[in-house]
Amino acid sequence: MSNDSLLPSYDAETIRRLDKAHVFHSWSAQGQITPLPIARAEGSHFWDADGNRYLDFSSQLVNVNIGHQHPKVVAAIQEQAGRLATLAPGFGNDVRAEAARLIAEVAPGDLNKVFFTNGGAEANENAVRMARLHTGRHKVLAAYRSYHGATAGAIALTGDPRRWASEPGMPGVVRYWGPYLYRSAFHATTEAEECERALSHLRDLIAVEGPGTIAAIILETVVGTNGILVPPEGYLQGVRALCDEFGIVMIADEVMAGFARCGEWFAVDRWGVVPDLITFAKGVNSGYVPLGGVIISEEIAATFADRPFPGGLTYSGHPLACASAVASINAMRDEKIVENARRLGEDVIGPELRALAERHPSIGEVRGLGAFWALELVRDRETREPLVPYNASGADAVPMAELAGACKVAGLWPFTHFNRTHVVPPCTISDDEVREGIAILDLALEKADAHYT
């Protein structure tokens, strides 16, 4: 510890030793994980404790939308810590009110009230609770190939293997297939066909489950960790229409897709759709302090005008989190970060990745928008056999581990999941940094091509 600091400043070896002894890590076999000690970060980069620099193509867990260590967001947290570091949720204060006002201002339609949480899972838990109480119904339709968080209810809503160990989980979840033309559950061959069949599947499901039992349909507006699945034109509008027809609450999970990631404040804006509830976290303040929440329509908020909402969290509307959200949203506006993400997708990331696909046979599909892209890797473009099997681990996952390893050695921190590598950098990344990262990916993809049949 230095004389003027209250905080430790350990070398890499000490961090590794203390971490191994005392930190219990998420989603990991504790004996197998060796976390990389990180010393600092700035903009689109972070540095490990040995001085190696990495270009962050993962935005950590796709949350650092505004880039690392944005000076205004850091300063706002420091200023707020000096003013008032904590406050119970029942009180009002300036940053809490202003954060809610700004979030309502950038949200679509009449979504004007914000319930603050500490992250995305809690936001989804509370959105479902609101929908159930609002409708007096209990079922929730949730998609396969989705992720909604790791708490008891949110993991039950999740439609990927992360939920398996927590099953049977929350009662009342009914699973449906969302659109994903490349691996269509409906054997569709065009986006229009996929859209029409996905909506008709949802309509059939509502009929057989009983419309009067269904409280909500939850969906990731653009599916994130399950492959950056951009919905076909008309799909979200169709879901909105089904919800209106049957009195079902539409919950858009924008935890990953919101706050600039898709080149819009919220991904739903791209299709002009106004859900009843939007859940958010990550990009709202780039995770500088844990924060999430539910943005609530006037109609649903009115349900709780004379009737208490039976939910709460000690740290709901935490002052440090709200201060960072205020500074972050203002900086996003001032620096046109939403517009930058849209331009990056259209002019830089999309074209560069499509050019990669011409050179690498293992790239089966390129898809995305804004600063939210995926390369889906295959062993064979004709059969679309994935480069590694669904839910691959251990020896099965080696080709993807080789790809990730080659990126890291060359100074690029990738985001890989199953047979995909996602290109999800900060929305503030420069064009040159994007090109630098894609040049590294270009070389690393030879590892994937080596497994092409």
Contacting positions for ligand PLP (CB under 6 A) = 61, 119-121, 124, 147-149, 220, 224-225, 253, 255-256, 281, 292
CB 425 within 8 A of CB 373: no
**C-beta closer to ligand PLP: residue 100 or 294:** 294
Q: Which is nearer to ligand PLP, 54 or 372 (CB)?
A: 372
What is the residue-wise DSSP string for 378-394? BS-TTT--BSS-TT--G
* 150 C-beta neighbours (distance < 10 Å), count: 16
What is the C-alpha to C-alpha distance for residues 291 and 305, in angstroms, rounded to an integer? 25
- Kindly give the pairing relationship between strand 277-280 and strand 292-297: antiparallel
Nearer to ligand PLP, 15 or 284 (CB): 284
- Minimum Å distance from CB 257 to ligand PLP? 7
Cα gap 299→322, rounded to integer Å? 25
Distance of alpha carbon 205 from the chain centroid: 27
Q: Which CB sits closer to ligand PLP, 280 or 399?
A: 280
Least spacing, CB of residue 240 vs ligand PLP, in Å: 19
Task: State which residue, 224 or 426, has the beta carbon closest to ligand PLP.
Answer: 224
Residue nearer to ligand PLP on the CB measure, 148 or 420: 148
The least CB distance from residue 62 to ligand PLP, in Å, is: 7
Nearest to residue 281, comparing CAs of 299, 302, 266, 298? 266
Which position has the token pair 């600063």? 371
Handedness of CA 23, 27, 28, 34 (dihedral sign): negative
Q: How far is the CB of 331 from ligand PLP (least distance, A)?
A: 21
Compute the least distance from the CB of residue 9 to ligand PLP, in Å: 28
Q: What stretch of H or E contains 55?
A: strand 53-56
Q: Residue 121 or 128: which CB sits closer to ligand PLP?
A: 121
Q: Closest separation between CB of residue 125 and ligand PLP, Å?
A: 9
Min CB(157)–ligand PLP separation in Å = 9
Q: Give whichever of 46 and 415 is closer to ligand PLP, judged by the CB atom.
A: 415
Shortest Å, Cβ 151 to ligand PLP: 7
* Under 8 Å between Cβ of 113 and 107: no
Ramachandran quadrant class, 324 (left: phi over 0; alpha: psi -120 to 50; beta: rest): alpha
Q: Quote the least distance from Cβ 132 to ligand PLP, whole Å.
A: 18
How far apart are the C-alpha atoms of 135 and 211, rounded to whole Å? 11
Alpha helix positions (H), 210-234 = none
Give the span between the Cα atoms of 364 and 296, in whole angstroms: 39
Q: What single letter denotes the amino acid at residue 307?
A: R
φ, ψ dihedrals at 80, nearest 5°: -65, -35
d(CA 439, CA 384): 25
Residue nearest to ligand PLP (CB): 120
Q: How far is the CB of 67 from ligand PLP (least distance, A)?
A: 19
Alpha-carbon distance of 380 to 399, in angstroms, equals 14
The smaller minimum CB distance to ligand PLP, of residues 293 and 386, is found at: 293
Other residues' Cβ atoms within 10 Å of the Cβ of residue 20: 13
Using the minimum distance from each CB to ligand PLP, give the nearer residue, 169 or 361: 169
H or E element at residue 218: strand 214-220
* Dist CA 230 CA 322 (whole Å): 30
Cβ proximity to ligand PLP: between 44 and 124 the closer is 124
Least distance to ligand PLP from the beta carbon of 281, Å?
4
413: β partners: 56
